[in-house]
Amino acid sequence: MKIIVNGESVESGAATLADLLVDLGHGGAAVATAVNEGFVPATARANCPLRPGDRVEIVAPRQGG
Amino acid sequence: MPVFYGTEIASALMLGTALYPSPAILAEAFRRSGAGVATVSLRREAGGGREGQDFWALIRDLGVRVLPNTAGCHSVREAVTTAHMAREVFGTDWIKLEVIGHADTLQPDPFGLVEATRILSDEGFRVFPYCTEDLVLCDRLLRAGCGVLMPWGAPIGTGRGLMNPYGLRSLRAHFPDVPLVVDAGIGLPSHAAQAMEMGFDAVLLNTAVARAGDPAAMALAFARAIEAGALARAADPMEPRDMAAPSTPLLGQAVLA
């Protein structure tokens, strides 16, 4: 299925958000996630199913003022 | 030293972490200045990317308190969601709340700011609102749950200093017990000293240090200016007056004319 990850169209077979993070190489990294503009805590990722067209945001620490 | 939500900070200098020539220079600026708080943000991370993880390791090694921001958020919803993400990643309920109302001036949206403050305070966040010096807005922010106010000195990145000293002094006078931070618009150490002389508790800046020719030296200059301003405030400065008043005694002056 096609989903949108950080604004880019991605072909993915991940059943859940947790699976997607592993597939993309984020396993264990300090990242936060949102699906369709809603925050998904790390503890809820395994129970967060992904559907075609979902918009996923994956963010990490960055410089800020 | 400033106390925010019951936590005392080792320095009244709060430093941003953006725009430095290199991570090493960023770290050196913190080390030389002794800044007590580092502001950070969240941005998209590519799959397998290390940039965010490496940056986070660098910040953790600084040993300072971290204050995540919601920079770039123009709506309450964006800001609230970003705050939730920041709390999880950075492991703190402190949040520098930015709800931007105007793209050119980066002026805070006062209405969205109050609404987001209420939501986040109710959810247990410790909100540090990036606000204007408007007295009524600041009163509403306090009522919405803020225990700190962070009015701008001037628009972000302009380095113009304290554009409305009267408004900032009014805040100090009206809210004597609320920690006040000048956030944004500071360009020179003298601007930071001025804020501290007014009785502000801390100063938050980024560009003035990061874009200096020697950021670490400038960070130290800010630290010393802030210390000088705080000492001056505690020493109870004289009141200015319009007419000259000789400091050397008139009595005993020889008549030579």
pLDDT in tens, B190-246: 999 999 999 999 999 999 999 999 999 999 999 999 999 999 999 999 999 999 999
For B134, which DSSP code?
A: -
Rg (alpha carbons) of chain B, rounded to whole number: 20
Among the listed residues B96, B126, B140, B191, the single catalytic one is: B96
pLDDT over threshold 90, residue B49: no
Whether B166 is catalytic is no
Residue of B15, B67, B89 for testing the chain A interface, max A β-carbons within 10 Å: B89
Average pLDDT over residues B15-32: 98
Domain assignment present for residue A51? The answer is: yes
| Closest among B147, B107, B154 to B128, alpha carbons compared | B147
pLDDT at residue B50 above 90?
no
Of the partner residues A25, A62, A65, the one whose CB lies closest to the CB of residue B52:
A62
Residue A21's domain comprises 2-59
Please give the residue of chain A at the shortest CA–CA distance from B78. Answer: A37
The mean pLDDT of B50-54, rounded to a whole number, is 92
pTM value?
0.95
Domains in chain A, number: 1
CB B206 within 8 A of CB B182: no
Burial class (CB in 10 A: 0-12, 13-18, 19+), B153: buried
Nearest to B41 among A31, A37, A64 (CB): A64
CA angle B86, B89, B94 (to 5 degrees): 45
The answer to whether residue A64 is domain-embedded is no
A10 is a domain residue: yes
Record: contact B48-A41, CB cut-off 8 A: no
User: Rounded mean pLDDT of chain B?
Assistant: 97
Under 8 Å between Cβ of A50 and A21 = no
The answer to whether A61 contacts B90, with C-beta atoms less than 8 Å apart, is yes
Q: What is the DSSP string of B103-130?
A: TTT--B-HHHHHHHHHHHHHTT-EEEEE
Percent with pLDDT over 70 in chain A: 100
User: What ipTM goes with this model?
Assistant: 0.96
Give the per-residue pLDDT at B118: 98
What are the backbone dihedrals phi and psi of residue B243, each rounded to the nearest 5 degrees, phi first? Answer: -95, 150
With 90 as the cut, is the pLDDT of residue B47 above it?
no
At A52, which CATH number? Answer: 3.10.20.30
What are the tokens at B2? 């400033």
**Is A65 inside a domain boundary?**
no
Q: Give the minimum alpha-carbon distance from B16 to chain A in angstroms, rounded to a whole number.
A: 4
